[in-house]
Structure 1
Amino acid sequence: MPFKMIVLFFITALAEIAGCYFPYLWMKKQGGPWLLLPAALSLMLFVWLLTLHPEASGRIYATYGGIYIVTALIWLRVVDGVQLTTTDWVGALVVLLGAGIIISGWK
């Protein structure tokens, strides 16, 4: 899988996570409603980025799911400051292996 595609998956996942994280801050952490603007922009970016992926949508979503999980764990560590557990790391490895298997079938 080319480096460019991995980066595209990662940026797509960041856009989706940010689009969900801003409303979370607004609703759970008593942030201002202005947080809904970057949320909406992030989700629009996420949807647009999905259109740039080169394979049939089902395979893209399946592969993206693995990258999303790993990105979410990185977000958990970096943004939320939560220490990752051994099971987090093992789970990330398993889903990346699964995503790799799916990618290997792309033509």
Structure 2
Amino acid sequence: MRNITIFTVAAFLEIAGCFAFWAWLRLGKTMWWLVPGVGLLMLFAYALTWTETDAAGRAYAAYGGVYIAASLTWLWAFENTRPDRWDILGASLCVVGAATIIAAPR
């Protein structure tokens, strides 16, 4: 359960940090959007080190599923675009994969 919380926090840090670059380059926002963007990306990388796993690659793989679901939440909450059924199906498959990686007996 702790890893799910860490992955969720990390996902929103990463998405917000990347969105700052998107806003600057695609939405015409000022370059100053990059300052918090870089800071958020640094916090994201740091947050992933808190996971309870002995292998970075396994943490990143499991994180991927959570990231996809969080990205669709961001799409809906901050970009006012509701995910369609294919988005939901794809994210669900990814979350099941991430849960398998996280919960596997080792």
TM-score range, shorter chain: over 0.9
Q: Tell me the equivalent position of 2:56.
A: 57
Residues 60-87 of structure 1: CA distance to partner in whole angstroms, max 9, x if unpaired? 0110000000000000111111111111
Residue 6 of structure 2 corresponds to: 8
- Show the counterpart of 1:20: 18
User: SS of 1:79's equivalent?
Assistant: helix
Tell me the distance in 2 between the aligned counterparts of 1:105 and 1:84. Answer: 29
TM-score by length of 1: 0.92
How many pairs does the alignment contain? 105
Q: Which SS does the other structure have where 1:31 is aligned? A: coil
TM-score (norm: length of structure 2): 0.93
1:104 maps to 103
SS, match of residue 54 in structure 1: coil
Q: Does the C-alpha gap of structure 1 residues 52 and 88 become closer, same or farther in structure 2, counting only changes over 3 Å?
A: same
Matches of 1:71 and 1:106, distance apart in 2: 26
Separation in 1, partners of 2:101, 2:32: 39
Separation (CA, whole Å) in 2 of partners of 1:104 and 1:59: 12
Residue number in structure 2 paired with 1:44 = 42
Displacement after TM superposition at 1:106 (Å) = 4.9
